[in-house]
Every structure is written in structure tokens, then in C-alpha cells.
Amino acid sequence: MRIPSTLLAAAFVIAVSATAQAEDKGKADVSQADLKAKTDYCKTCHGLSGQGFRGSYPMPRLAGQQPEYLQNQLHAFIDRNRTNPVMFNVAHVLSPPLQKALAEYFKDLNPKPLGGAPKELVAEGKKIYQDGIPKAEVPPCASCHGPDAKGADAFPRLAGQLHDYIFRQLTTWDKERGQDKAKPDNSAIMGPIAHNLTEAQIKAVAAYLSYLE
């Protein structure tokens, strides 16, 4: 039996309407006032546009970050699988809808990178990012983070990230991430890679990434 086109059109409209209503309900769980209060608080450390900030130590760029990755990191702080006393206090009071709303908010920001890394390191960093270092068993960074370094899903955006933040993270990876060995997370992938990179190589990759938009 052939279904009339008018019925198909009506079914499509109903489906789209139901999806929109579900999305609106999810947004309604977080008031604009609550979201603004939290984003304003985040900006005190991460910059007015989420671009990152250099103080006593570098605060990471959140702007343009993958929402799934941001939510995963908030959970890691809450579960203490990632060590950071400040972020534990920030994250554990956030409701799941607010976590999602914050992740979506920062995803949509796109300020210019802060830059500041030695530009003479960029060419070497680009080569490492694209080709890896086979003799050190370091795969191309692009294989997970994408050719444009904007990440996808649980793999974070690295483009525009502060070079000194990347250096700090990669040289102290095991001291902050994957603290619960019984419950390894995605950060376990980076452990051996960070370990096999020299500090000079990390500086080069960080310099390259810090200028990408």
C-alpha cells in the first residue's frame, strides 16, 4: 500500500516538532541567569571569551572545545580521576544539564588565539603533529585530533590552545590525569605518547598548535 505524500509530510513535521520540543526542554532545565552566572565565573580564570589566560600559571582555552570532551573532563574532576582542587570544587556542584549547557556555550566561542610561542618552532611542530615520530612510537597527533586540530567528540580541540598550557600538561601528564588506575579513561591513550616526547618536541608541537585558528 502506498502511503500518501501528505501523510509522510505530516509525519515529518511531527517528528521535527518533537525533536525541537525535546531540545527546548533540555535548555529550559537551565535558566539564562544560571548559565550567565556560571560562564561569568569561568571567565575569571579562562578569559573573557574563553580564550585562556596567563597568570601565575596558564589557564586553558575553552573556546571552540568539543562539548563531549568538556563534559568528560568535568566528570573526571568530579570523580577525582583528574587532580585539580579548584576544578573539583567548581565541577561537583554543576548539575548534568548545566554541564551540558556550559559545554555548548564554550563550543560556540571563537576568539583569536593568544599565541606567544617561539615561531621558529612552528615548522618542526607541524611535522610532528602531522607525521608523528615513528622511531619514538609517537603516532601523528592528527590521527586523533584531526588535520585541523579541532578534535571530534571525546578527542579535544588543540587548535589555539596556550602553548605553555600544553607544555605543562604533557610534561606532567601522570601527575594529574588517570589518577584512578582501576577506572582508566580516555586520558590513558596519551600517557605513553607524552612520556615518549622530549621537552623540545613538546615545545615545538605546542608552538604549532598555539597559532592555529
Whole-number pLDDT of residue 159: 98
Query: Is the separation of the CB atoms in 113 and 160 below 8 Å?
Result: yes
d(CA 109, CA 155): 18
Angle of helix 96-107 relative to helix 67-78, nearest 10 degrees? 140
Taking only Cα atoms into account, the Rg of the chain, rounded to an integer number of angstroms, comes to 20
Domains and CATH numbers, the chain: 31-210 (1.10.760.10)
As given in the structure block, the three cell numbers for residue 18 are: 518533537
> 31: how many CB neighbours lie within 10 A of its CB?
12
Output the tens digit of pLDDT for each of the chain's 213 residues: 444 544 444 444 444 444 444 444 444 589 999 999 999 999 999 999 999 999 888 999 999 999 999 999 999 999 888 988 899 999 999 999 999 999 999 999 999 999 999 999 999 999 999 999 999 999 999 999 999 999 999 999 999 999 999 999 999 998 877 666 677 777 788 999 999 999 999 999 999 999 999
> SS3 of 53, please?
strand
Q: At residue 198, what are phi and psi to the nearest 5 degrees?
A: -80, 165
Look at residue 20 in the predicted model and tell me its pLDDT: 43
> How much of the chain is helix, strand and coil, in % rounded to 5?
60, 5, 35
> Is the whole model's pTM more than 0.85, yes or no?
no
- The confidence score (pLDDT) of residue 66 equals 98
Q: What pLDDT does 206 receive?
A: 98
**Cβ(13)–Cβ(81) under 8 Å?**
no
Please give the pLDDT value at position 28: 53
Alpha-carbon torsion, ordered 154, 204, 162, 189, to 10 deg: 20
Q: Which of 20, 185, 34, 21 is nearest to 97 (CA)?
A: 34
